[in-house]
């Protein structure tokens, strides 16, 4: 390989001598073999690649960018498939579901004092304790088996909480 002085490389690349030396120090073009002697062809090719990468926004590699785009599109499609299958839900749908669940549990628990008062009239302390324990276990069992009402779920499986009573138990359910 023929080597040339830094001045010729600088003139060929339309740079000054100092900038050529900086590019070599930064690893953008090959370092000189001997003091001030550069491979002209290798420096020219490396500098062209460097300029292309700056124009393209960094990578300059079309195949790499196309691969990233394809991967992103595939991930987006998989997310949509999972959402349609019901494997994936939106945060808003999860919040609505939890809100309906907590609302139903709250309503059930708020009936406990009224029901307990009716059932425990004239009972002993031990019997009242058992009544309250049974009511709490009943509410917890209902909570663990809770499913949203079919009319409350939209096509995506999201919970519709349009009214405050949606999903809550009434005193007749108790």
pLDDT per residue over 130-170, tens digit each?
A: 999 999 999 899 888 877 764 444 444 444 444 444 444 44
Please give the model's pTM, rounded to 2 decimal places: 0.41
pLDDT single digits (tens) 27-36: 999 999 888 7
Query: C-alpha 33: how far from its chain's center?
Result: 50
Distance CA 97, CA 167 (A): 10
pLDDT single digits (tens) 53-67: 877 665 556 777 788
What local confidence, expressed as pLDDT, does residue 61 receive? 64
Nearest to 11 by CA among 40, 53, 32, 42: 40
Number of helical (H) and strand (E) elements in the chain, helices listed first: 6, 2
Query: How is the chain split among helix, strand and coil, in percent rounded to 5?
Result: 65, 5, 30
Query: C-alpha 109: how far from its chain's center?
Result: 35
- Please give the helix or strand (H or E) that residue 39 lies within, else none: strand 37-39
Query: C-alpha 48: how far from its chain's center?
Result: 39
DSSP 8-state symbol, 63: H
pLDDT single digits (tens) 75-113: 999 999 998 898 888 888 889 988 988 998 899 899 999
Instruction: Find the angle CA(89)-CA(92)-CA(93) to the nearest 5 degrees.
Output: 45
Q: Are the CB atoms for 12 and 40 separated by under 8 Å?
A: yes
What local confidence, expressed as pLDDT, does residue 56 receive? 67
């Amino acid at each position: 390989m023929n080597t040339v002085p830094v001045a010729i490389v600088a003139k060929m690349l339309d740079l000054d001598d100092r900038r050529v030396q900086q590019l070599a120090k930064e690893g953008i073009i090959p370092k000189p073999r001997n003091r001030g002697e550069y491979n002209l062809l290798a420096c020219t090719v490396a500098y062209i690649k460097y300029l292309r990468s700056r124009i393209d926004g960094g990578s300059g590699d079309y195949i790499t960018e196309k691969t990233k785009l394809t991967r992103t599109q595939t991930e987006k499609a998989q997310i949509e498939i999972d959402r349609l299958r019901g494997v994936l839900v939106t945060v808003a749908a999860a919040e609505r579901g939890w809100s309906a669940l907590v609302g139903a549990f709250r309503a059930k628990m708020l009936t406990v004092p009224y029901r307990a008062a009716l059932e425990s009239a004239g009972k002993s302390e031990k019997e009242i304790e058992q009544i309250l324990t049974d009511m709490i276990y009943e509410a917890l069992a209902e909570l663990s088996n809770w499913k949203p009402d079919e009319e409350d779920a939209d096509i995506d499986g999201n919970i519709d909480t349009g009214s405050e009573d949606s999903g809550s138990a009434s005193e007749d359910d108790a």
